[in-house]
Amino acid sequence: MPPMLLPALPLLLGATLTFRAVRHALCRLPLPAHVRADPLRTWRWHNLLVSFAHSIVSGIWALLCIWQTPEMLVEIEKAWSLSGYLLVCFSAGYFIHDTVDIVISHQSRASWEYLVHHVMAMGAFFSGIFWSRFVGGGVLTLLVEVSNIFLTIRMMMKINNAQHLLLYRVNKYINLVMYFLFRLAPQAYLTHLFLGYAGQRTLGTFLLAILLMLDVMILVYFSRLLRSDFCPQRIPSHQHKDKFLTE
């Protein structure tokens, strides 16, 4: 058990408001001409800027947490650190902010997959925040944010129609490697650990169910990534228009 349990609600509120402030600040940055011409692309660009900021901070933070508390790699339920606990609160605040941003911007229909993902992620993180369990597992799941750094760069370049640039071609291979190292591999490892809770009537079983659903989503996203970046000729032409929303 952790030596202390910080007030969860103030931390979540503070993290959520922080991302709201970050979005407000990033919206002041100049927009590429192609993005500025389309209100939908403008909203998505600002949304991705916040996601990019979250990925950089939380991805590096997760690596530091594991370096400081390596037992999180094997003891996903009881391993705890103050830094890891604050990281989980920080990322839960981002998911709350992004969910609200999608809803109030009337993008729920176009971004429903993000909403489903966020609800599942928040459900998992709350176990660490309110019950102080599986903080280690939460930190491990946030290794995915290292991959998201390059995935977000890719999506922003697609929104700006910059797929012809050398940076996009280089990034798509880096993104593929990072997808394996920090998304597929950690997810497979976590699934292996959580399968030990199968058949039990515990919080671990609930989190296993969430994890298995996330596994399916990640594999679907991976197939889209491969098809979009490496087999684009197989995508029907009528699908290209709005694919930047989810791919």
Q: Is 161 left (phi over 0), alpha (psi -120 to 50) or beta?
A: left
The residue among 80, 225, 54 whose CA lies nearest residue 145 is: 54
Measured distance CA(112)–CA(129) in Å, rounded: 25
Intervals of the chain under pLDDT 70: 1-6, 234-247
pLDDT confidence of residue 6: 58
Q: What is the pLDDT of residue 235?
A: 57
What's the pLDDT score for residue 245? 41
Three-state DSSP class for residue 38: coil
- Torsional sign, CA 184, 189, 191, 192: positive
Kindly give, in sequence order, each residue whose CB lies less than 8 Å from that of residue 207, ignoring residues fewer than 6 positions away: 124, 127, 134, 137, 194, 197
Give the pLDDT confidence score for residue 105 in this predicted structure. Answer: 96
What does the pLDDT read at residue 128?
A: 86
The per-residue pLDDT for 127 is: 86
